[in-house]
Amino acid sequence: MFLLAITFIVLLGNTKISAQVLDRNFHQIYQLIDQKNFFEAQSFYQTNKSTLSLSHQKFIEICLDNAFGRLNDSNNKIERLMQEKVYKLPDSLQMTVLLIKEDNSVKLYDYKEAKKTTESLLSKYANSLTEDKLNEYRNNLKIWTAIEHQPKQKVVIKGESKLKLTKDKAGLNNLPVSAGKDTIDFIFDTGANFSTISKSAAKHLKMNIIPGAVEVSSITGNEVYAQLAVCPELAIGDITIHHAVFLVLEDDELSFPQIEYQIHGILGFPVIEALKEIRLTRDGYLIVPERETAFKELSNMAMDGLTPLILIDGRHFTFDTGASNTVLYSPYFIEHRKIIESKHQETSISLGGAGGVKQFSGFHIDVNFNVDGKSILLKDLAVLKNNVEAEKKTIYGNIGQDFIKQFDEIIINFHHMFIKFGSSI
């Protein structure tokens, strides 16, 4: 994290605030953002905004607007930051701004702008990047270049849709997805950054497969190679998705021979987010309403890139409807280490994803979660001792279907960024 030396006193109204306070407040907010704790960062910023310089205010708002789905607001502030000389930031923060602009562009399906931004990032800051990050951004550039001329994704919803979800062999929710006259069951997964499809299914649905390969990572941390494909028109009930982008994996990368299980396709965040609001019921239905649900409370959902986060008990978790079980990560273990190690036996935990199954050291524990004044007990949860991957080092875990099915209904709103739970069982 960069350090910014300030040696003068700033006057705000009639109150003198020392440079140390200004510096400390900004760094505290920035540290919370770096830890993916956007919820606490937003609250702290609202209380301490007046103690920050205009440049720092603009930077924090760019970050928070991105996290809470205000993408156009974030982009507008980025443009002002780049054009007006009054806003000056060190290179480390300017690089972060470019990363956010890339993310905003991807979520707005403006892949040409995402490519342009990534090129600028590599041109200006290549010497400041680690080898891993350099490879990551070069890989991103391959993705955006491959689809820069594709039309933007568009979703047409004809009134309220109520669709029956079915469970597959792995216990995951599936929906029938149609392209032309062909229909295949896809996993419905808010935790998937991109929609994914096996190569045989992509060919069967006559998707336009783009030549070339890109690297993608799975929950196990393994890197696998994929192609990209664009589906001209995809139907889910009465909902039509135009120009959806898919990662295309070899069939064996989505195969789990241990249980004779093959994934054909996964509907991920870019498609699900475009529905604006979804409702999942315990009796197995997906509802896409004609009108969004009213919600006046503070947002309890944010986005880390293309991954949804949820605030529960003051801690932030990823939220994944495609995961059958909730898994707790190393920050949760570290916070409760003494009691976990004193009461539970360490064991090996298997996690599966694209690229296969990987073993981790951890424990199985029972955990009580509190949601809207209700206590939700989940038994035999896996808690990992070490990070699954570096990006998750500050996240407390991944909330899955075992948590979700404790409620009659959950509402996920990607427009106003909230998750609302109905009555619990």
Q: What is the pLDDT of residues 163-205, one digit of tens each?
A: 999 998 888 889 999 998 899 999 988 878 889 999 999 999 9
Closest CA to 236 of 292, 175, 286: 175
**CATH number of this structure's domain 301-421, picked from the four choices 2.40.50.140, 3.20.20.370, 2.40.70.10, 1.20.950.20:** 2.40.70.10
Under the banding of pLDDT at 50, 70 and 90, the label for residue 425 is low
Could you tell me the fold of the domain covering 154-278?
A: Cathepsin D, subunit A; domain 1 (2.40.70)
- pLDDT confidence of residue 356: 59
One-letter amino acid at 396 equals Y
Domain boundaries, the chain: 10-147, 154-278, 301-421
pLDDT digits (tens, 9 = 90+) for 197-254: 999 999 999 999 998 888 886 544 567 889 999 999 999 988 999 999 999 999 988 8
Structure-model confidence comparison of residues 103 and 22, the more confident one: 103
pLDDT digits (tens, 9 = 90+) for 41-65: 999 999 999 999 999 999 999 999 9
- The percentage of residues in the chain with a pLDDT greater than 70, rounded to a whole number, is 90
Cα distance between residue 91 and residue 124, in whole Å: 9
* Rounded mean pLDDT, 134-157: 93
User: What 3-state class would DSSP assign to 323?
Assistant: coil
- pLDDT confidence of residue 353: 58
pLDDT digits (tens, 9 = 90+) for 64-123: 999 999 999 999 999 998 887 656 888 889 999 999 999 999 999 999 999 999 999 999
**Vertex 373 angle, CA 372 and 374, to 5°:** 95
Under the banding of pLDDT at 50, 70 and 90, the label for residue 355 is low
- pLDDT confidence of residue 193: 84
Q: What residues contact 229, with CB distance under 8 A and at least 6 apart?
A: 197, 202, 207, 208, 209, 210, 245, 246, 247, 248
Burial class from Cβ neighbours inside 10 Å (0-12, 13-18, 19+) for residue 343 reads: exposed
In the predicted model, is pLDDT for residue 332 greater than 60?
yes
Please list the residues that pair with 280 across neighbouring strands: 286, 410
Can you point out the beta strands (E) in 218-345? 223-236, 239-249, 255-256, 261-262, 265-267, 277-281, 285-288, 301-304, 307-312, 315-319, 327-328
- pLDDT confidence of residue 144: 95
Cα distance between residue 143 and residue 114, in whole Å: 10
* Rounded mean pLDDT, 319-330: 89
Under the banding of pLDDT at 50, 70 and 90, the label for residue 351 is confident
Do 301-421 and 10-147 have the same topology in CATH? no
In the predicted model, is pLDDT for residue 12 greater than 90?
no
* Rounded mean pLDDT, 316-327: 90
- pLDDT confidence of residue 4: 32
pLDDT digits (tens, 9 = 90+) for 241-294: 999 999 999 998 888 888 889 999 999 988 999 999 999 999 999 999 988 888
Cα distance between residue 3 and residue 367, in whole Å: 39
CATH superfamily of 10-147: Tetratricopeptide repeat domain (1.25.40.10)
Please, what is the average pLDDT of the chain?
A: 87
Please list the residues that pair with 398 across neighbouring strands: 318, 327
Read off φ and ψ for residue 348, nearest 5 degrees.
-100, 135
- pLDDT confidence of residue 423: 74
Residue 132 has a CB neighbour count (10 Å cut-off) of 9
- pLDDT confidence of residue 170: 84
